[in-house]
C-alpha cells in the first residue's frame, strides 16, 4: 500500500480512534431536522454570554449593513440611453422618506437602517431571517415590513397536503421544490421554549409575501444554519476557562495562606471561619501559619487563549486581530493584506444581502409608491406631479451599495486609481461606487461647490494632480 492509499484507508477506517466519527452521510434536511433547535438555542446563548460572540455579531453589523444600511442608487434611463436624473432623484427622495422610522417597519419602531442591521444580526446568529410584506392603503407608502422570529417556523413540521404539496421544515413546496407558502407557528411567547404541546396551530402565509434570507451552503437546503455553529463549543469552553482563571487569580491574590492546628483533635469537625480578603490575617491562637503561593495567572495562559481565539476566528470567518482586538504582533503589510482579504468576504456577504433582501423589497415598494403617487417631480407650472405608473419597468432600474471602508494607505490607493483611470482600465464612476458613493450625486455636489466658490470669489489652493487654473492674464490673452 502506497502513502496515498494508506492515508485514504486511515480516513475511512473504523477503530477506537474513529469510533465517534460519522460513517453514514446525511442530507442537510435531516441534519436541520435533528439539530436546528439546539444549534439556534446555543448560538443565542453565546450571543448573550460570550464576549467574542457579541464581537462577531458587531463585526457583521458594522461591515455588512454598516451604519446606514444599503444605499439605493436609482439608474433610470430614457429609451435613448440618457440618464433621467429627474426621475432618479425623485425615486431616491421617496425611498428616503420610506426609510424613516414609522414608515418602513410595521411596528413603527425601526428605520430601514435599523431593520437591515437587525436582519444581518439575526442571520449571523440564527442562520436565517423572515419578514412578511404587509400591504395596506392605510400605510404611508402602502407597504411595510413585519419581521418574524425564525423560531416561529417549526423546523420539525413535515406534512403532505391534500393538493400534493409537501411541508418541510415549516415551508410548503410544490412538485418542483419551489416554496409556495410558509406555515408560521401560532404560539404565545409565554409558553417557555415556544413549545405548543398537542394541537399545534399554524398560520399559512403565501410565499410571495415572505422574504426568507439565508445562505445556501448545501444542495437542497431549506433553512439556514447559524454562522457561529463550528465555533460555539470552543467559545463556550474558552469563556468557562477565562471565568475559572479569573476566580483562581482573585483567590490567589486574596488568600496569603492557610492555618494548621498541630494540636487539633482528628475527630474535631469545627471549621475556622476565614474570609478571602486581601491582606487579612485572623486571630490564630496556637495555630501554625502555612504559606500558599498559587503562581496564577501563568504566562502560558495568554498563548493558550490566543491559540483558541485563532481557531474561533477561523470558524467565524473573521480575522483574529479584529475579533480579539489584538494588534500587538502585526505590521503594516500583514494587517493591510489581512484587511483587504477580509473586506472581500464582507463585500460578498453584502451582495448576498442585497440580492436576498433589498432586491426582493424594492420592486414591491416601487409599485405601491407609484400607485399611491408618492414619487413626485417638479412641473413647469411650478408645482409637482407624480411619476406615471405605466412606466414602472423603466423606473425599476436601480442598484444598491453597501458600506465601504477608508483606504489603508490613502496616497498609494489614490495614485493607483489615477493611473487606472488614465489607462482606461476603470471609470471614475466605478471608483466612486467602490467608495460607496453615487457618481451623479458626487458630480452634482462638485458643481454646486464650484458655483458657490465662484460666487464668493474664493480660489482654493490647487491639490496635487489638479489641472492648472487659468489666471487673469491667461483670460486676457485668450480674449485678444
For 203-252, what is each residue's pLDDT tens digit? 999 999 999 999 999 999 999 999 999 999 999 999 998 888 888 777 77
Does the pLDDT at position 284 exceed 70? no
Highest mean pLDDT among 306-310, 414-418, 454-458: 306-310
Residue 420: pLDDT band (50, 70, 90) is confident
- Axis-axis angle for helices 112-126, 28-49 (nearest 10): 120
Give the residue, 398 or 466, on which the prediction is more confident.
Answer: 398
Percentage of the residues of the chain whose pLDDT score is greater than 90: 49
Residue 451: pLDDT band (50, 70, 90) is confident
The x, y and z cell numbers of residue 174, run together, are 410544490
Give the residue, 318 or 268, on which the prediction is more confident.
Answer: 318
The mean pLDDT of 146-159, rounded to a whole number, is 93
pLDDT at 199: 57
| Window from 169-178, 288-297, 384-393 with minimum mean pLDDT | 288-297
Residue 196: pLDDT band (50, 70, 90) is very low
Residue 477: pLDDT band (50, 70, 90) is low
pLDDT at 201: 81
Percentage of the residues of the chain whose pLDDT score is greater than 70: 80
Does the pLDDT at position 400 exceed 90? yes
Does the pLDDT at position 173 exceed 70? yes
Angle at 97 between CA 94 and CA 99, to 5 degrees: 110
Highest mean pLDDT among 176-185, 314-323, 466-475: 176-185
The mean pLDDT of 179-192, rounded to a whole number, is 78
pLDDT at 332: 67
**Contact indicator for 316, 56 with CB cutoff of 8 Å:** yes
pLDDT at 286: 61
Residue 434: pLDDT band (50, 70, 90) is confident
Average of per-residue pLDDT values in the chain: 84
* Backbone φ, ψ for residue 345 (5° rounding): -65, -45
Show contacts of 51-58: CB within 8 Å, 24+ apart: 51/239, 52/235, 52/238, 52/239, 52/309, 52/312, 52/323, 52/324, 53/228, 53/235, 55/323, 55/325, 56/124, 56/228, 56/316, 56/318, 56/323, 57/121, 57/124, 57/125
C-alpha distances in angstroms, 276 versus 258, 259, 279, 331, 430? Answer: 11, 13, 9, 44, 65
| Window from 201-205, 322-326, 357-361, 434-438 with minimum mean pLDDT | 434-438
Q: CA-to-CA distance for 27 and 319, rounded, in angstroms?
A: 31
Q: 17-51: per-residue pLDDT in tens?
A: 878 888 888 899 999 999 999 999 999 999 999 99
The mean pLDDT of 75-97, rounded to a whole number, is 91
| Window from 166-180, 256-270, 466-480 with minimum mean pLDDT | 466-480
The mean pLDDT of 360-374, rounded to a whole number, is 95
The x, y and z cell numbers of residue 156, run together, are 420539525
Give the residue, 161 or 8, on which the prediction is more confident.
Answer: 161
pLDDT at 221: 94
pLDDT at 261: 64
pLDDT at 429: 82
Does the pLDDT at position 127 exceed 60? yes
Amino acid at each position: 500500500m502506497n502513502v496515498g492509499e494508506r492515508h485514504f484507508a486511515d480516513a475511512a477506517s473504523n477503530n477506537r480512534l474513529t469510533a465517534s466519527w460519522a460513517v453514514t452521510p446525511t442530507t442537510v434536511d435531516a441534519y436541520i431536522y435533528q439539530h436546528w433547535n439546539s444549534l439556534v438555542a446555543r448560538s443565542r446563548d453565546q450571543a448573550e454570554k460570550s464576549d467574542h460572540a457579541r464581537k462577531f455579531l458587531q463585526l457583521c453589523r458594522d461591515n455588512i449593513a454598516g451604519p446606514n444600511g444599503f444605499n439605493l442608487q436609482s439608474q433610470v434611463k430614457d429609451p435613448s440611453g440618457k440618464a433621467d436624473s429627474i426621475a432618479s432623484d425623485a425615486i431616491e427622495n421617496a425611498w428616503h422618506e420610506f426609510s424613516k422610522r414609522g414608515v418602513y417597519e410595521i411596528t413603527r419602531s425601526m428605520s430601514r437602517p435599523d431593520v437591515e442591521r437587525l436582519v444581518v444580526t439575526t442571520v449571523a446568529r440564527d442562520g436565517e431571517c423572515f419578514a412578511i410584506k404587509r400591504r395596506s392603503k392605510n400605510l404611508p407608502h402602502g407597504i411595510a415590513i413585519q419581521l418574524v422570529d425564525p423560531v416561529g417556523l417549526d423546523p420539525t413540521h413535515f406534512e403532505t397536503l391534500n393538493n400534493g404539496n409537501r411541508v418541510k421544515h415549516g415551508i410548503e413546496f410544490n412538485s418542483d421544490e419551489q416554496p409556495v407558502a410558509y406555515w408560521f407557528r401560532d404560539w404565545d411567547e409565554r409558553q417557555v421554549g415556544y413549545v405548543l404541546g398537542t394541537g399545534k396551530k399554524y398560520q399559512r402565509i403565501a410565499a410571495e409575501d415572505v422574504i426568507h434570507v439565508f445562505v445556501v451552503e448545501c444542495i437542497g437546503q431549506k433553512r439556514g444554519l447559524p454562522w457561529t455553529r463550528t465555533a460555539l463549543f470552543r467559545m463556550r469552553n474558552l469563556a468557562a476557562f477565562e471565568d475559572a482563571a479569573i476566580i483562581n487569580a482573585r483567590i490567589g491574590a486574596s488568600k496569603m495562606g492557610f492555618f494548621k492546628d498541630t494540636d487539633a483533635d482528628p475527630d474535631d469537625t469545627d471549621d475556622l471561619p476565614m474570609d478571602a480578603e486581601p491582606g487579612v490575617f485572623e486571630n490564630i491562637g496556637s495555630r501554625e501559619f502555612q504559606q500558599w503561593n498559587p503562581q496564577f495567572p501563568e504566562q502560558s495562559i495568554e498563548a493558550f487563549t490566543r491559540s483558541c481565539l485563532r481557531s474561533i476566528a477561523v470558524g467565524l470567518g473573521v480575522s483574529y486581530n479584529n475579533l480579539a482586538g489584538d494588534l500587538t504582533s502585526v505590521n503594516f503589510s500583514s494587517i493591510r493584506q489581512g484587511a483587504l482579504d477580509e473586506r472581500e468576504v464582507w463585500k460578498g456577504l453584502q451582495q448576498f444581502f442585497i440580492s436576498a433582501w433589498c432586491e426582493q423589497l424594492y420592486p414591491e415598494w416601487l409599485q405601491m409608491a407609484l400607485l399611491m403617487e408618492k414619487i413626485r417631480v417638479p412641473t413647469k407650472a411650478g408645482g409637482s406631479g407624480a411619476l406615471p405608473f405605466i412606466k414602472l419597468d423603466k423606473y425599476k432600474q436601480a442598484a444598491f451599495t453597501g458600506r465601504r471602508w477608508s483606504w489603508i494607505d490613502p496616497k498609494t490607493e489614490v495614485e493607483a486609481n489615477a493611473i487606472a483611470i488614465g489607462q482606461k482600465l476603470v471609470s471614475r464612476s466605478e471608483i466612486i461606487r467602490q467608495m460607496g458613493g453615487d457618481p451623479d450625486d458626487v458630480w452634482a455636489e462638485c458643481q454646486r461647490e464650484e458655483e458657490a466658490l465662484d460666487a464668493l470669489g474664493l480660489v482654493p489652493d490647487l491639490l496635487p494632480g489638479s489641472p492648472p487654473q487659468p489666471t487673469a492674464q491667461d483670460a486676457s490673452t485668450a480674449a485678444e
